[in-house]
Amino acid sequence: MIRLRLERRETAPAWLKLALAVGAILLTLLICSGLILLAGAPVFEAYGRLFLTPFSSRFDTVETAVKAAPLILTGLAVAVAFRAKFWNIGAEGQLLAGAMAAAFIGGRASLPDAALEPLMILSGAAAGAAWALLPAFLRTRYKVDDVVTTLLLNFVMFYGMTALLDGPWKDPLSGYPDSPDIRIEAEFPVLLRATRLHLGIVIALAAALVVWFVMNRTVLGFSIKAVGENPRAAAYAGIPIARVILTTAAISGALAGLAGVGEVGGVHFQVMAGLSPGYGYTGIVIAMLAALSPLGVVPAAVFFAVVITGAEGMSRATGVPVYLADVIQGVALICMLAALLFTHYRIRAVGRPAAPAIGAAPAPHRRVAEG
């Protein structure tokens, strides 16, 4: 009789993590194909439209890259925080904090033209870091659950922002609940003429390389991983746990804040209620799909950008609702969480010796010499 049991792994090879991520995506598409069939559309045609539309023209390809930039940054924000077991669910609020700071600086007429973009980037990162430090302080000082505080602070930031947009920060020229436009000199430079390919995409890719270097080649990165793996052992080794968590939270919030800076400086040029369609929450899925790898965040973010961009083309061609993109995100998170089990455990087959047949001669016994 063969039994199956889970056996803990000491380490998981890199190829296994990649295979599990690909398997999670394939399983997600298989599950969501049932919804496509319920919508009365052919599965292969729908998925063909979903994944080919983002690359069917230069415009669609650029739009995919534009959507990937904030997803890369929020994915990095979550990946860094989760490495230290700081459960930052608040990247959405930190993104909005960075966007508001960037819009405020970008609209100042008293600042010199050359200083606008650097100050927008710095102020947006600082605002995101400050908003993330609040729940980190509550956790390290008062043991308050960081999942709850980071999640609830998203709503505090969002409704505080909408209150400002409906009140003292409303654009007097348009009368809509939007902030005034930033100065033209504060807009990010366009990398490809007649498109929206802006500087924020370069910032996102550079951030992925910097985060990878910090996490794998510096003492801070080792400390973050040590605190996440075993805080008691890290404390015994002399690593200041509270300081590492606060530093991690600041880095995570700064990355999410940069996502908001890119949306203001390169896409919308103002703050509005619909500035982010949930980039902060999607960053959680991206970080998990990438297995918290900074470089893995980039292809995972591109995948979700392709899904978001291609959903509209799929809907026009096949009639499948664009909300399938949201379903794919949620199912992908569930599938990846299930797949992560096998990075820590392997399935081991354990067999029992077969019972001797009736009437069979007993096995000879080995005589043991005494003395």
pLDDT of residue 317: 87
- Over residues 325-335, the mean pLDDT reads 88
Classify burial at 219, counting beta carbons within 10 Å of its beta carbon; exposed 0-12, middle 13-18, buried 19 or more.
exposed
Q: What is the pLDDT of residue 39?
A: 86
For residue 106, the model assigns a pLDDT of: 94
- Averaged pLDDT, 142-160: 96
CB atoms within 10 A of CB 283: 32
In the chain, what are the domains?
A: 2-349 (1.10.3470)
pLDDT band at 115 (very low <50, low <70, confident <90, very high): very high
Q: List pLDDT tens digits, range 201-219.
A: 999 999 999 999 999 999 9
Is the separation of the CB atoms in 187 and 269 below 8 Å? Answer: yes
**Helices and strands (H, E) in the chain, number of each type:** 13, 2
Q: How far apart are the first and last CA of the chain?
A: 39
What local confidence, expressed as pLDDT, does residue 202 receive? Answer: 95
**Banded model confidence at residue 369, pLDDT cuts 50, 70, 90:** very low
CA 29 to chain centre: 19
Mean pLDDT of the region 288-317:
91
* DSSP three-state, residue 8: strand
d(CA 61, CA 54): 5
Q: How far is CA 342 from CA 7, 17, 24, 76, 144, in A?
A: 10, 9, 12, 23, 31
Rounded mean pLDDT of 232-260? 96
Rounded CA separation 92/280 (Å):
4
Distance CA 86, CA 139 (A): 9
What does the pLDDT read at residue 186? 94
Residue 368 reports pLDDT greater than 50: no
State the Cα–Cα distance between residues 58 and 42, nearest whole angstrom.
27
How large is the average pLDDT for residues 7-12?
74
The whole-angstrom separation of Cα 204 and Cα 73 is 6
User: How far, in Å, CA of 346 to CA of 240, rounded?
Assistant: 34
Higher pLDDT, 320 or 212: 212
* Average pLDDT of every residue of the chain: 89
**Which of the residue ranges 189-193, 295-299, 334-338, 366-370 would you say has the lowest mean pLDDT?**
366-370
What are the residues whose beta carbons fall under 8 Å from the beta carbon of 99, sequence distance 6 or more?
124, 260, 261, 263, 264, 271, 275, 276
> Which phi and psi (to 5°) does residue 326 adopt?
-70, -40
When mean pLDDT is compared across 147-156, 308-317, 361-370, the lowest value belongs to: 361-370
Q: Check residue 371 and give its pLDDT.
A: 39
Q: How confident is the model at residue 123 (pLDDT cuts 50, 70, 90)?
A: very high
185-191: list long-range contacts, CB under 8 Å, 24+ apart. 185/113, 185/116, 186/105, 186/106, 186/107, 186/116, 186/117, 186/120, 186/265, 187/106, 187/265, 187/266, 187/269, 188/117, 188/262, 188/265, 188/266
Q: What is the pTM for the complete model shown?
A: 0.89
Residues above pLDDT 90, as percent of the chain: 65
C-alpha to C-alpha distance for 369 and 371, rounded to whole angstroms: 7
Asked whether residue 358 carries a pLDDT value surpassing 60, the answer given is no
Return the structure tokens found at 69: 């930039």
Dist. CA 330–CA 307, nearest whole Å:
13
pLDDT in tens, 87-103: 999 999 999 999 999 99
Please give the pLDDT value at position 365.
Answer: 53
pLDDT at 224 over 70: yes
55, containing H or E segment: none
Q: Checking DSSP bridges between strand 345-351 and strand 2-8, what pairing results, if any?
A: antiparallel
Model pLDDT for residues 261-282, shown as the tens digit of each residue: 999 999 999 999 989 999 999 9
Task: Please tell me which of 20-24, 124-128, 228-232 the model is most confident about, judged by mean pLDDT.
Answer: 124-128
Q: Provide, rounded to the nearest whole percent, the portion of the chain with pLDDT above 70.
A: 94
Say what the pLDDT of residue 370 is.
44
Q: Please give the pLDDT value at position 261.
A: 96
d(CA 122, CA 43): 46
Residue 120: predicted pLDDT: 96
